[in-house]
Structure 1
């Protein structure tokens, strides 16, 4: 068999699968992480800038327009797609609306059903095929004779109803035919499976749903924070005392010592626990000591990295089904939690299948990080296993505020944050995710990491093997990760401390990558990010210590499962269906980069290899490898029905903007 000659850094695809010598544009993972805005690079049908339509091409922007578009992918506008005639959700569930005629939504059920789009049919896994149309179904549509019910498909199944025995969207559900019937009086009624509802409600109901009362108190700035108030007061007193004791301004080293001593003195103070009423001044508790914290026994476990946008609950649930043991929610901003942002609080939602789940926080000050931790610990004491501090996010929007990887150069501030959060969270451990350093050639983590475990008592440390400046331009430095692990273990041995779990990260894309790096560096495991986005089944590979030549049909089954998980999370109404579609396309914008290992001349595949134009072993495999975002939308339509005419998808990666809607 002939062997193709490939330039260095390209995927070694066998000659019989090559389409041409043309190589695909390299995926810009920096753009996907949020560094690049796509505003100004779209056609006239794309987004507007400051309310003015973008006329296409590289239009010169004013200073104000440039300022407005700074940040993470601000050109990606995803407005909610709703029904043309919106039914009141109370009426949709058979209840009375207290607003009556003043309600801004319609209460006219027959008119709503007449205008409602036709039911979607979620095809079963058994109907999937590797040849067009890829989903084969029998025409089981059974519309009622009455015209008002012509939108119903009684042959469909509703993911929410199948999972919980009822559908929370009621008549608004796009799978309504699965749980609606006409009674003897000709009235359309909703069906509930009481047996299933009582049997599986606890195993499938999402956890960590913040109460309306808590959000109200946060908006009014009345949420009680006794631990935070005491801690910040102690820091203030300690800093004042140290300042008064000095005749001259302190140098940089002296400043750090002063701040750290303040953190240590605050950690030894007596405060009330968050769960007590604020007027119980006669029953204070001693803060939880590090030895009383929950120990994290994570050695040998697989860990899905917190991933902004794409690391949502449906994706995490998919990875858990494929072998992920530890999951963490998307990075949340402490300031947004404190201002009662519903979007931010939704990031802490957890599915019961996530057996070990954490929340990741980003912030730059004890005055925001500590109260957020206290509220999380109070609201979700049994629903969060750890809280992770983000010391690795490289994007400008976060770095410029002193958050993310900026904390690597501010160890004194980080020490204060950890000490306060640790106290506020009680027995819930604090973990830290960091990079090797901020600037290229100036690694600092080998100095910081031993302090994290011995001085500040973090429960787990995760080190991504790149600096902030490197982003994804170079391979992860696993040699330096080993140096950091050795430094931590030496400090722990000197001080007689129990070892904390240390996870590495960077470029892990196969079982052989995983285990060779674990063996060579001494880490307890590897946090997997991009590798899981491109091939979520990497957790199965790691668990079974093999490379899985997954078939195209098996991959399509995973797409179907993601769609099902998305519908049960985001909802089965029109808005929920298209939110699921958006995040499914986000996932496909990474999945397409997988080059099936059966097409490669040598194994394992490498995450940074640039793929040539190739065809798959069947038509479905070729479709799943398409870099055209319009094909991702077509794949979504197999499970979510036709996309609305007004809906379009703009990828996070600039190089993936292959469809017409993203040219320019």
Structure 2
């Protein structure tokens, strides 16, 4: 142990970030958000506790009993339930067709306004994203940009730059854009009248088609067919028939075995065993196995009327992911703007937020928006969750047909690790770990529907604490057609309560590699996941535990620049101004994705505040006595090396809104942000507007 480490250990209790003395405000560790409580209870006791319990926690006693000290703290650190994020509407709701300069087919019957002058007169002042050169480490942190107005159109700022127009050469939000002055010109008319004419940069628009335009946009007609159940899924239909035929055959066998036929042969009574039909090979749990490189089933698919021949495993695109960094699929926070930010900082592989197969098949626009991809994302996949083979295989087939041929989809991932009650109780996510027979059927079917597109899975070590079981599934995954696996080193029940079990991850990797060698199966990439928070963490895991790379979740949320550290093999003592530049970049990406109109600006504001609800937890490494930093260490109260660094470390959600206002303008009075964690809520909801 070094002198610095020894000194630090005597000054701080275990699990406390070792802040240098000159930056300390208090030795008492700060309360940090409880990541488990914020996701909702998954404890089997607490989730079924009587409603009379005051906190929803497990344990004896009725509503009159006082909470234990531990439960009080857990409740205070828990989730703000029932969060609602309302849309902010404009005073005059201008028709989109009129805003874009086209004709509205509804005419006078349109529910929206067609009065452009009235709309422009009520429109608030244009916004302006400050240039990087205007950022400072001292208040007000952002120097205001000089504006240039037109007396006839006072809401316009002719000096502003529209982020959408700057990227695409055209702003699809037209007159409704909050950066309107950046893509209009004032055209003089007779007398003192004038009109606004939208500007289009044809050269930039042509270039943007391949460099900036988001891809994987589902066609409206296709979405209508999905919603009305008219989208053809012949592969899924044929596979469902196979499963049904196999189930019927097993049922007949069971009935025949239960009721053997009895015949008389002279004076003797002969009990005749029923003839056995040829059955597919199954393992001890009844799973259909892969024979060589092909799936074997009781139902012969060659006799079915199927237009497509399924791809054999060797026809799959091989994944060469060794040594790559992988941004985990993150619900809510792992949206396209955040993924773009991480890619710009060095992330190699990205995956969209988890989507529910049932919602995809219901034609949910929100669910289908999760497959959107930016051209910057070099290796991109979609993650699905579900519990029924027919739903997952059908969804997979539609995804492959819509985006496979265009190259918009590099892989599809099946979520076998989500611990959230809502998902688990439906038999999805980590619940699949306890139903390997069903999981095998799902994977074989999805693999067939995907054609040459690889299928991957994300797993946890098991369901119950102390019972690691996933090695049994991982050994068989290749036979089910899986092209890559990621293992999070915790059980579903553990959530984040303990450190990830990397020794068990290594055990699983070793067993899979031995199985591949014994059965002459192709080697597939295996990624580990859990508690990686620095370049040193990343490379030590790869070297010591045999994984091909590491998937990073919480570490990327707290410090997205971890991907730069990994790529450059260094720890980055990032300055507060550099962090503010990244926040500005996120705002720019958000406006391009969510929109530069009033609704898009405040959606961007909401997700920027969600991102800041993790990033404030970063402790600058220049303030630490011992490196590398550890993700689960709680910092004592500290001040930064400058005023901006101190502000960025604030856990007060009102400060996150103030930071958003530096780039997105003042938050409307009707807008508020409710943080995910109770520990970040200060004052009334109105105070956060």
TM-score, scaled to structure 1: 0.90
**How many Å apart are 1:657 and its aligned residue?**
2.3
Give 2:359's aligned residue. 336
**How many Å apart are 1:655 and its aligned residue?**
2.3
Is residue 2:636 matched to residue 1:608?
A: no
Contact 1:509–1:605 (CA under 8 A) maintained in structure 2: yes
1:519-557, Cα deviation, whole Å (9 max, x unpaired): 111000000000000000000101111100000000000
**How many Å apart are 1:245 and its aligned residue?**
1.1
1:560-619, Cα deviation, whole Å (9 max, x unpaired): 000000000000000000000000000000000000000000001110001111000000
Structure number with bigger Rg: 2
Is residue 2:175 matched to residue 1:143?
A: no
1:55-89, Cα deviation, whole Å (9 max, x unpaired): xxx9xxxxxxxxxxxx9965110111121211111
C-alpha separation in 2, matches of 1:121 and 1:562: 15
Give 2:33's aligned residue. 27
RMSD after superposition: 2.3
C-alpha separation in 1, matches of 2:163 and 2:298: 50
Is residue 2:495 matched to residue 1:471?
A: yes
Give 1:436's aligned residue. 461
Give 2:206's aligned residue. 198
Which residues of 2 match residues 374-389 of structure 1 at below 5 A? 374-381=397-404, 382-389=407-414
C-alpha separation in 2, matches of 1:99 and 1:489: 64
Give 1:405's aligned residue. 430
1:314-366, Cα deviation, whole Å (9 max, x unpaired): 00000000000000000000000000000000000000000100000000010
C-alpha separation in 1, matches of 2:347 and 2:299: 35
Contact 1:267–1:420 (CA under 8 A) maintained in structure 2: no
Give 2:130's aligned residue. 123
**How many Å apart are 1:255 and its aligned residue?**
9.6
Corresponding residue SS for 1:589: helix
Give 1:552's aligned residue. 576
C-alpha separation in 2, matches of 1:621 and 1:657: 20
Is residue 2:593 matched to residue 1:569?
A: yes
Is residue 2:439 matched to residue 1:414?
A: yes
Give 1:238's aligned residue. 246
Is residue 2:118 matched to residue 1:95?
A: no
Is residue 2:206 matched to residue 1:178?
A: no
Give 2:325's aligned residue. 302
Give 1:63's aligned residue. none
Contact 1:256–1:412 (CA under 8 A) maintained in structure 2: no
Contact 1:231–1:266 (CA under 8 A) maintained in structure 2: no
**How many Å apart are 1:445 and its aligned residue?**
1.2
Contact 2:672–2:686 (CA under 8 A) maintained in structure 1: no
Contact 1:324–1:539 (CA under 8 A) maintained in structure 2: yes
**How many Å apart are 1:441 and its aligned residue?**
1.1
Give 2:163's aligned residue. 159
**How many Å apart are 1:660 and its aligned residue?**
3.4
C-alpha separation in 2, matches of 1:201 and 1:34: 42
Contact 2:485–2:526 (CA under 8 A) maintained in structure 1: yes
Distance 1:633 1:235, change over 3 A: same
**Match of residue 296, structure 2, among 240, 264, 280:** 264
Contact 1:627–1:658 (CA under 8 A) maintained in structure 2: no
Unaligned stretches of 5+ in structure 2? 43-64, 66-77, 259-280
Give 2:675's aligned residue. 651
**How many Å apart are 1:662 and its aligned residue?**
9.7
**How many Å apart are 1:31 and its aligned residue?**
3.6
Corresponding residue SS for 2:324: coil
**Match of residue 12, structure 2, among 2, 6, 15:** 6
C-alpha separation in 2, matches of 1:514 and 1:607: 13
Distance 1:81 1:264, change over 3 A: farther
Contact 1:359–1:387 (CA under 8 A) maintained in structure 2: yes
Give 2:58's aligned residue. none
C-alpha separation in 2, matches of 1:304 and 1:449: 21
**Match of residue 658, structure 2, among 605, 616, 634:** 634
C-alpha separation in 2, matches of 1:268 and 1:5: 70
Give 1:41's aligned residue. none
C-alpha separation in 2, matches of 1:266 and 1:564: 55
Contact 2:403–2:409 (CA under 8 A) maintained in structure 1: yes
Contact 1:390–1:433 (CA under 8 A) maintained in structure 2: yes
Give 1:519's aligned residue. 543
**Match of residue 485, structure 1, among 495, 509, 532:** 509
Unaligned stretches of 5+ in structure 1? 37-57, 59-70, 273-280
**How many Å apart are 1:457 and its aligned residue?**
2.0
C-alpha separation in 2, matches of 1:261 and 1:466: 28
Corresponding residue SS for 2:188: coil
Distance 1:212 1:285, change over 3 A: closer
C-alpha separation in 1, matches of 2:244 and 2:145: 71
**How many Å apart are 1:505 and its aligned residue?**
0.3
Give 2:55's aligned residue. none
C-alpha separation in 2, matches of 1:591 and 1:72: 18
Contact 2:245–2:298 (CA under 8 A) maintained in structure 1: no
**How many Å apart are 1:463 and its aligned residue?**
0.1
Higher deviation after alignment, 539-548 or 130-139: 130-139
Corresponding residue SS for 2:452: coil
**How many Å apart are 1:267 and its aligned residue?**
9.1
Contact 1:510–1:541 (CA under 8 A) maintained in structure 2: yes
C-alpha separation in 2, matches of 1:338 and 1:383: 19
Contact 1:650–1:662 (CA under 8 A) maintained in structure 2: no
Contact 2:130–2:145 (CA under 8 A) maintained in structure 1: no
Is residue 2:422 matched to residue 1:367?
A: no
**How many Å apart are 1:266 and its aligned residue?**
7.0
Contact 1:407–1:413 (CA under 8 A) maintained in structure 2: yes
C-alpha separation in 1, matches of 2:236 and 2:111: 42
